[in-house]
Structure 1
Amino acid sequence: MHPFLLHFGGFKLPAYGFTIALGYTAAIFYLYKSRAIAFVTRDQEADLVFYSALAGILGAKAVFAATYWTELGPDFASRFVYIFKGFPYGFVFYGGFAAGAAAFFLYCRRNKLNFLKTADHFAPALALAHGFGRLGCFMAGCCYGRPAGGALGVAFTDPMCEVPQAYLGVPLHPVQLYEAAGNFLIFGALAWLSRRGKVRAGGMIFAVYILAYSFLRFMVEFLRGDDRGGSWLGLSPAQTLSIIAASAAIFMITRMRKK
C-alpha cells in the first residue's frame, strides 16, 4: 500500500508508526472516557499505558529477533545492526503481550492495585490499539497474506513495502484487515460488557479478550503468507501459542463462573 504517508524534504512519515500512534491515542481516549475505576487514578492509568506499551514493544522485538536470529544476517554484528535499522518492523504480538502483561502485573503489585480488575478495565483499550496496529501492518505491507483469487485479493505494488518482490502485483489475502476488523469487533464487545457493569468476577473481561483474540489469530494464521517461523503438527508457532492462551482463558472463565 503506502509505507510512507508523507515525504517532506528528507523527512518521511511512516504509515506503520503513524497508525501505532493513532492506536495509542485511541486507547488513552477510550480509557479517559470510559467509566473510571475507583481504585485506579488517572495518573496510574497513564503510567500503566506507558510502561506496558514500552515493555510490549521491547518484548515483541526481542521475540522476533530470537525467532529469526539466524536469518537476520551472517554474524552477530550484522544481526544486531539489522534489528535496530529495521526497528519499525518485525514484531511478535505474543512476545509483546507477555512482556506488557508482566510490566502491567508488576506495576499493579507495586502500587497495590487489583491486577485482574485493572486488566478488565484495560482489555478493551488493548484490542482497540491492536486494531490500529494491524491497519499499520496493511499500510506497510508486513504480515501479508497468501495469494488470493477473486475479489478478496489486494495487490501491493510499492517496492518500498515489506511484501517480497515476488509477491508485488499479486492479489493477496488482506489478512491485516481481517485481523484489524476482528480486533475492532472484540473491542466493541468488551466495551459493551464493561459498560453493562454486570461482570462482577475480576478478570472475566480480560479472559474473554484472551479467548476471543486467540481464536481470531488462530484462524487468520491459515491465510498468512509470510514466514511463520516453523511449524508443529502443521501449526505455526502463533497458532500453538493461541491454543495455549485460549486454554488458559477457558480455565480462568470456568473457575470464575464457579465462584
Structure 2
Amino acid sequence: MHPFLFSIGGFNFPAYGFMVAAGYLAAILYLHNKDYRGALTRDNAADLIFYSAAAGILGAKAVFAATYWQELGPDFASRLVFVFRSFPYGFVFYGGLAAGAAAFLFYCRRRKLDFLRTADNFAPALALAHGFGRLGCFLAGCCYGSPSGGFLSVAFSDPKCEVPRALLGTPLHPVQLYEAAGNFLIFAGLHFLGRGKAGSLRGTVLAAYLASYSALRFSVEFLRGDDRGGFAAGLSPAQIFSAVFAAAAVFIFIRTRKNGKSNI
C-alpha cells in the first residue's frame, strides 16, 4: 500500500504514524465535545487522555518487546537498541490497553473519580482511535492477513511495506480493514448506548466495549498471517487476552446489574 506518505529532506513520513496521530486527535475532539454528566471536569479528561495514552504506548511497546525478544537481536544490548530504534512502530494493542487502564485507574483513585463512570465516557473514544490505528496498519502492511482467494482480498506490492517479500503480490485477507470497520461500528454502538437508557448504569458501556472488541479480535485472529508469538492450545496470545478481557466484561456487567448504580 503506502507505508510512507511523503519525504522531506530524506525523512520518510510514515503513514502508520500519521493515522495513529489522526486517531488520537479524533478521540480528543470526541471527548472535548462530550457531555460528561458531571462525572468529571474537562481538565480531568485532558489529564486522563495524556497519562493513559503515554502509559498505553509504553505498555504496547513493552509487550511487543517481550513477545519477540529472542528475534530482536543476538544479545541483550542489540535487542534493547532495536526496541528504541523501532519505537515509531511495533506495538501490541492489549499491552497498551492494560497499561493505559492501569494509569486510568490510578488517576481516578488519586482524583477520587468514579472509575466505571469515567471509563464509560472514554470507551467510545478508544474504539474510535483504534479504528484509525488499524487503517495505519493497512497502509504500512503490518498485521497482515493470511492468503485468501476471496473477492475482498488485497495484494501488497510495495517492497517497503511490512509484508514479507515472499507474500508481495499474493491476495491476502485485509484483516486490518476488517478490524478498522469493526472498531468504527463499536464506536458508533457505544456512543448511542451511552446516550440511551440501557447505558445509564455505570460500567455498562465499558463492559460492552470489552465484550465487543474481544469478540472482534478473537475472530479476526483466525485470519491473521503475520507472526504473533507463540500459540497455546491453538490460540494466539491476542486470543488469550481476548478471553481474559471478555471475562472481565462479564464480571463488570454482572456487578453493574447487581449494584444498579446509574451514571446520571
Provide the residue aligned with 2:63 in structure 1: 63
User: In the alignment, is residue 127 of structure 1 matched against residue 156 of structure 2?
Assistant: no
Distance 1:217 1:198 in 2: 24
Distance 2:88 2:33 in 1: 30
Deviation at 1:207, TM superposition (A): 0.8
SS in 1 for 2:199: coil
Deviation at 1:148, TM superposition (A): 0.8
Checking the alignment, whether the CA contact within 8 Å between 1:55 and 1:103 is kept in structure 2 is: yes
Provide the residue aligned with 1:81 in structure 2: 81
Deviation at 1:28, TM superposition (A): 0.7
Gaps of 5+ in 2: 260-264
Give the count of matched residue pairs: 259
Checking the alignment, whether the CA contact within 8 Å between 2:39 and 2:117 is kept in structure 1 is: no
Provide the residue aligned with 1:227 in structure 2: 227
Checking the alignment, whether the CA contact within 8 Å between 1:35 and 1:195 is kept in structure 2 is: no
Provide the residue aligned with 1:146 in structure 2: 146
Task: Give the TM-score normalised by structure 1.
Answer: 0.97
Deviation at 1:11, TM superposition (A): 2.7
Provide the residue aligned with 2:262 in structure 1: none
RMSD (Å), alpha carbons: 1.1
Provide the residue aligned with 2:45 in structure 1: 45
Distance 2:60 2:115 in 1: 22
Distance 2:37 2:28 in 1: 15
Provide the residue aligned with 2:242 in structure 1: 242
Deviation at 1:224, TM superposition (A): 0.4
Checking the alignment, whether the CA contact within 8 Å between 2:194 and 2:200 is kept in structure 1 is: no
User: 1:92-118 CA deviation, whole Å, 9 max, x = no partner?
Assistant: 111100000000011111111111100
Query: Superposition pairs for residues 182-201 of structure 1, below 5 Å?
Result: 182-196=182-196, 198-201=198-201
Query: Superposition pairs for residues 196-211 of structure 1, below 5 Å?
Result: 196=196, 198-211=198-211
Deviation at 1:250, TM superposition (A): 1.2
Amino acid across the alignment from 1:132: F
Distance 1:233 1:77 in 2: 33
Checking the alignment, whether the CA contact within 8 Å between 2:23 and 2:132 is kept in structure 1 is: yes
Distance 1:94 1:65 in 2: 13
Checking the alignment, whether the CA contact within 8 Å between 1:134 and 1:179 is kept in structure 2 is: yes
Runs of 4 or more consecutive aligned structure 1 residues displaced over 6 Å after TM superposition: none
Task: Give the TM-score normalised by structure 2.
Answer: 0.95
Gaps of 5+ in 1: none
Deviation at 1:251, TM superposition (A): 2.1
Distance 2:35 2:197 in 1: 9
Deviation at 1:198, TM superposition (A): 4.6
Distance 2:75 2:82 in 1: 11
User: 1:163-202 CA deviation, whole Å, 9 max, x = no partner?
Assistant: 1111111111110000000000000000001122552321
User: 1:10-49 CA deviation, whole Å, 9 max, x = no partner?
Assistant: 2322101100110001001111122233141111111101
Distance 2:199 2:212 in 1: 17
